[in-house]
Amino acid sequence: MKIKELSKLVGVTIRTLHYYDEIGLLSPQKDDAGYRIYSENDIKRLSEILMLKELEFSLTKIKVLIDEPLVDKEKALLIHRDILEKKNERIYALIDSIDNILRNGFEIEIIKNFNKNDYKRYKDEAIKKYGDSAVQSYKKTDKLDTTKWNSIQDEMKDLFSTLATYMDKDVSDDSVQILVNDWRNYITDNFYDCTLEILKGLGELYISDKRFEANIDKTKIGLSNYFSKAIKYYCNVRTK
């Protein structure tokens, strides 16, 4: 069977078959003219390749799975199943994120994601060190249902309206600084460990990002600017 016939039969492109030959995944015999001639065994092998690919195995893994009779295919499938389920969980979280954005706007999501990479890095390192089960407690970030979101929204509003009544005070005032500290604890409790560095970054966001500004200033004009200054003071006092 020549290349086009096979490509039509199984529904892959000729280039794909060329490529599989190139990487040694499926290397048929060649005739005198150099044309690839696919045998029944090649068809069988290709069908297996395509099925494993359908399951989103990488081509290198497929090669190992097919060529090494030593590997435990069932185990590989189970592991792969696990990976797929985690992927699914992640996608669920993403959809959830989008829903939250559509309901509540961008700002909370930005806070949530501000140092998600850091969080993930720490988590990965922690898993390496202590195993997966020990790190389950970090999961709090992932799933927040609607009622939780509403309570978060409410607490934010409370904090902002209290802060609004302080706006004639200097940002160094104790009552203001206590509120900033509350806000910091609040983030730590609900999202991730809010270090001074992160808090500083968030404070800078609050003045430069119009979406934050608009949301915070709904409570009182100029509040976002005031809040940002209060955070800056809070951080400066505590940095060295």
Residues of this chain that interact with a second copy (CB under 8 A) are: 8-12, 40-41, 43-44, 47-48, 50-51, 54-56, 74, 77-78, 80-81, 84-85, 87-88, 91-92, 94-95, 97-99, 101-102, 106, 109-110, 113-121, 197-198, 201, 204-205, 207-209
Binding pattern to DNA, positions 17-46, x when CB under 7 A?
A: -xx-x--------xxxxxxx----------
Q: Which residues of 76-100 are buried (b: 16+ CB within 10 A; e: fewer)?
A: beeebeeeeeeeeeeeeeeebbeeb
Closest CA to 203 of 173, 236, 178, 175: 236
Query: Min. distance of Cβ 42 from DNA in angstroms?
Result: 12
- C-beta of 24 vs 131, nearer to DNA: 24
- C-beta of 96 vs 173, nearer to a second copy: 96
Residues within window 49-88 making contact with DNA, judged by CB under 7 A: 53, 58-60
The span from the CA of 5 to the CA of 232, in Å, is 70
Query: Min. distance of Cβ 86 from DNA in angstroms?
Result: 18
Structure tokens at 91: 């996608």
**DSSP-derived secondary structure letter, 140:** G
Kindly report the number of other CB atoms within 10 A of residue 52's CB atom: 21
- C-beta of 115 vs 215, nearer to a second copy: 115
Q: Are 51 and 62 in contact (CB under 8 A)?
A: no
Q: Which residues of 145-156 are buried (b: 16+ CB within 10 A; e: fewer)?
A: eeeebeebeeeb
Is there binding between residue 129 and DNA (CB under 7 A)?
Answer: no
* Locus of tokens 């968030």: 202
The span from the CA of 146 to the CA of 154, in Å, is 12
Query: Min. distance of Cβ 84 from DNA in angstroms?
Result: 15
The one of DNA, a second copy, none whose footprint includes residue 2, by CB under 5 to 8 A per kind, is DNA
Query: Min. distance of Cβ 239 from DNA in angstroms?
Result: 15
Interacting residue ranges for DNA, rule: CB under 7 A = 2-5, 13-16, 18-19, 21, 30-36, 53, 58-60
